[in-house]
Structure 1
């Protein structure tokens, strides 16, 4: 029986991952997963661009082997297994520049009756609801591009994700009319993210974790993460 191919599923969300013209992916998560696989003697693996809504169901059903890191939650652990954490990041808001002094966090959005756009299923949706943003002021989309478009078209007032994702987006597509706001401490604390594996790949995940232990914190890793804009306390 032929060996099952290794498939890495990722999102278009710089600086973590993004597709390039030749059909491959780039980003800090891509570099880290490739380095870990090389340590295991795996020099080739497939890369599959997908949406957040398809990410974990595809993993659980065996469509792919491992996904780009995402926040570790109790609910997600019921579906998949996680590697050791590879980063810890706080939330941020992407807003129109004229609103950066007004929409300073989830509570400010709730108080203003403003509209928050999120990628459906991501943890920022629950953070916004917990801060008092009304369900009818919450807009759910499938991708980062759709969320940014909602801000530009004034269909929403703020887009919630990790601040690093917003900065990565603006680094690739600078726009003076957009600004990043760090969600205040107390409304968002840095949370751990990790690669996710299907529960049927426990042996590979354990070997992958051992490789990560050797890589994370190494000179190569620190230089790579700095090149993608991360600070020392974020990984």
Structure 2
């Protein structure tokens, strides 16, 4: 059963997952995957809504959109929304100034150096940083990936915590030899974690059908080729 009214897919400006492109189109691996899965269900048109991370889940809960770009699955988030089957598993990374690459090698190193960590508010990396000993007053919260990158580039923060793949995707689109990516080690909370599309709880029937479509797509030749084209190494999806 297709929900009444248009299906609205909320996404972030965060390559290589999703980003707005010329002519009002949206690009990225998550966009290609959601498009293919919906097409498999006979749904050829859906709306795409750019938003901020802070609004992703509240927008689902209030019915402003039907589903969102994949994000990490946590018990707290599952109280608000439902998740599809996992579609990728990604490790954390730090975006730092190139000169600090050796010094700021992970969350604990940021804590020891009393450096400032910038995070997109509400993302799980803030808790990882706190668990590693970074003082709360040394954590800077912003709303978007672009704001976090600017904070590091301008010296308002020393490291930006997100998934390493997001940092690589950003630098692939906007190269900057003054910035470098550090992958957080597994013993610092850098274990790959699963991400999945989020759905409003009122859309359980659509989510179940969507999962069936995902099962036929993920791991297929089309999917492996598409993810490789967006820079994902094998083992991260």
Q: TM-score, normalised by structure 2?
A: 0.98
Q: For residues 131 and 4 of structure 2, what CA distance do their matches in structure 1 show?
A: 45
Deviations 1:136-186 (A, max 9, x none): 000000000000010011000000000000000000000000000011121
Residue pairs, 1:2-151, within 5 angstroms:
3-151=4-152
| Alignment correspondent of 2:158 | 157
The residue aligned with 1:217 is 219
Note the aligned Cα RMSD (angstroms).
0.8
1-side partners of 2:18 and 2:186: how far apart?
A: 27
2:207 matched residue in structure 1: 205
Match of 1:191 in 2: 193
Instruction: State the distance in 1 between where 2:13 and 2:24 align.
Output: 12
Deviation at 1:24, TM superposition (A): 1.8
> Post-superposition shift, 1:42?
0.3
* Cα distance, 1:3 vs structure 2: 2.7
Corresponding position of 1:230: 232
Q: Distance in 2 between matches of 1:214 and 1:85?
A: 13
Shift of 1:20: 0.6
Runs of 5+ in structure 2 lacking a partner?
A: none
Cα deviation for residue 201 of structure 1 reads 0.1
Count the aligned residue pairs. 234
Runs of 4+ in 1 over 4 A off after TM superposition: none
TM-superposition CA deviations, 1:42-98 (whole Å, max 9, x none): 000000000000000001111000100000000000000000000000000000000
Query: Can you give the 5+ residue segments of structure 1 that lack an aligned partner in the other structure?
Result: none
For residues 12 and 44 of structure 2, the distance between their equivalents in structure 1, rounded to whole angstroms, comes to 21
Question: What is the Cα deviation at residue 21 of structure 1?
Answer: 1.6
TM-score, normalized by length of structure 1? 0.99
